[in-house]
Structure 1
Amino acid sequence: MKPSCRLLPVTRVALMGAQMDVVTPDTVMDFIAGTRGRQTIIANHNLHSLYLFQKCADMRRFYAQADLIEMDSTPLILWGKLVGHEMSRANRCTYLDFREDFWSRAAEEGWRVFHVGGAPEHNQLSKDAILRRHPRVKLEVRSGYFDVNGPENDVLLKDIAAHRPDVLLVGMGMPRQELWILNALDRLPPCAILPVGAAFDYEAGVMNTPPRWAGQWGIEWLVRFLYEPKRLFTRYFIEPWTLIPFVMADLLARRRAPVNQYESGARQNL
């Protein structure tokens, strides 16, 4: 983990074959504020990302670069509790849960926010929706539909650099958004970088937004599946089976180590 300019004590744990941090949305907001003016990556893990993490070396490289790794999956958190980690539903960090706090903080502290993602015809819809709720926010949006290896990518990177954002939100879906960040990292400005998936599609109203109680009860995945069964069947019903060896490893580690020695990272100063 790279050092930062603000000390935040955070517990880092090993879970299902990967490292992640036990944080709350407030911790994430404080981290963004405390590292303003520095390039940092705030990544996130769920069952889909863990599958990609095991299958793709570049995804492992991306997470190795991350300064903070949220958990945005209630089932993952419940599993962590089961094997002895101190965590709760309060440690779930996902855009739809913390978006109002994020935009309020962005408005109050004058964060310049730049979002890359979504279809071009939806960009203005998402921006308008956010500005209706938080009119003082400084927000730029650009489409995520471009060739990451073509000249459009160069134009976009120059545009981002010119706007000097404090926060860069990248919503192009896993693993495209993570790999774009990884490959563009040396050309991105000093800012907090967060992959946020379909966050702005929800803002634009072009994707169904699951009720927030579904996330807290760990069934948001089921609500999403009911709306998009064809696209999400493999993600929710096939991919998790590949994680069984790592589930077994967690159980074995739990049996071998007492609870007070089980936190792999103890307290990380972020």
Structure 2
Amino acid sequence: MLDTAAPSILEQARERRAAKRRPFRRARRTAERIRLMGEAMDLVRPEEVMHHVEAAVSERRRFLVANHNLHSLYLLDRTPGLRAFYDKADLIEVDSTPLIAFSRLTGVNGKGFHRCTYLDWRPHFWSVANRLGWRVFYLGGAPGVADEAARRLKAQYPGAEIRCRNGYFDAKPGSAENAVLLDQITAFDPHILFVGMGMPRQELWIVENLKALPTCAIFSVGAAFDYEAGVQKAAPRWMGRLGLEWLFRLTADPRRLFARYCVEPWFLIPRALSDLRAAGK
């Protein structure tokens, strides 16, 4: 009688291939990791982000993707609990062309293509989600916005299954609304969880609920579905590559973003000077 509990020859071959890949991925992650402005970040291209995410999804591993920009660095010292989110992240994108430019002053070989954010890897992501039939849960946005974004995305990528929930709920740990939401996410069993409730609310929600979330790839993505729904207009990607996306956004919403782009960076001067001293500049 055959032992049905024993792995098949095909399963054994898959496991051998996976075992060969694991040390390679660990070596790559070590090479990608840098420290900039005193914080850990990863120099990865958008396509490399998808490489890591696709591998994690195929192996059913939890994979937390964070991002750093000047705003997040400013918030780190002023937001209790935020550092715990970055400590748990498996990958930390550099979502800032100015940070990439500054890295070269410290001797780190950052390039323009290392700037990563949702809009940079969006087409690649949705093509993969469409091809592999990923289940994608998006949490965030005003009522109706994410639903419209999902409708548009579904028309373009019918192979992906998309579920949404707006960001207007009692997010306190232990609240009844939060418990219902966690049950909804668990029942959907997503391959990908996008959380877009603005920084730092989205990061704090993720780290506070991480143990209760299903095993999947988790991203903090800000206004990603606002762009998809047409509620906000994304800057042309050439502006992002030139480091001018902040100017586009500031012009579009000066009242909300003036302090972020014109005041907060001044508070990062001590971090920058510390990096330059360490680099012997």
Shorter-chain TM-score above 0.5: yes
Contact 1:71 1:77 in 2 (8 A): yes
Q: Which residue of the partner structure matches residue 45 of structure 2? A: 24
1:103 and 1:66, CA in 2 relative to 1: closer, same or farther beyond 3 A?
A: same
Shift in Å at residue 216 of structure 1?
0.5
Aligned-residue offset at 1:6: 7.4
Match of 2:144 among 101, 105, 121: 121
Q: Contact (CA 8 Å) 1:13, 1:20: kept in 2 or not?
A: yes
SS at match of 1:207: coil
1:58-73 equivalences under 5 Å are 58-73=81-96
Written as runs of structure 1 = structure 2, the 5 A alignment for 1:38-187 is 38-149=61-172, 150-187=175-212
- The RMSD of aligned alpha carbons is 1.4
Which sits farther off after the overlay, 119-128 or 161-170?
119-128
Of the two structures, which has the highest relative contact order with CA contacts closer than 8 Å and spacing of 6 or more?
A: 1
SS of the aligned residue for 2:251 comes to helix
Q: TM-score, normalised by structure 1?
A: 0.90
Q: CA deviation at 1:43?
A: 0.3
Partners of 1:255 and 1:111 in 2: CA distance: 47
Tell me how far apart the structure 1 counterparts of residues 152 and 97 of structure 2 sit (CA, whole Å): 27
1:235 and 2:260 correspond: yes
Q: How far apart, in 2, do the equivalents of 1:57 and 1:20 lie?
A: 20
CA distance in 1 between partners of 2:177 and 2:145 (Å): 19
Q: Which runs of 5+ in 2 are unaligned?
A: 1-20
For residues 121-160 of structure 1, give each alpha carbon's deviation from its aligned partner in whole angstroms, at most 9, with x where no partner exists.
2122100121222121111111111110231111110000
1:223 pairs with one of 248, 261, 270: 248
Unaligned segments of structure 1, at least 5 residues: 257-270
Q: Please give the per-residue CA displacement for 1:48-103, whole angstroms capped at 9, x wherever unaligned.
A: 00111122231111100101100111111111122211121111111112111100
Q: What corresponds to 1:261 in structure 2?
A: none
Q: Percent identity of the aligned residues?
A: 49
Aligned ranges 1:169-208 → 2 under 5 Å:
169-208=194-233
Distance verdict in 2 for CA 1:141–1:51, change over 3 Å: same
TM-score by length of 2: 0.87
State the aligned residue count: 253
Q: Does 1:33 align with 2:54?
A: yes
Asked if 1 retains the 8 angstrom alpha-carbon contact of 2:138 and 2:146, the reply is no
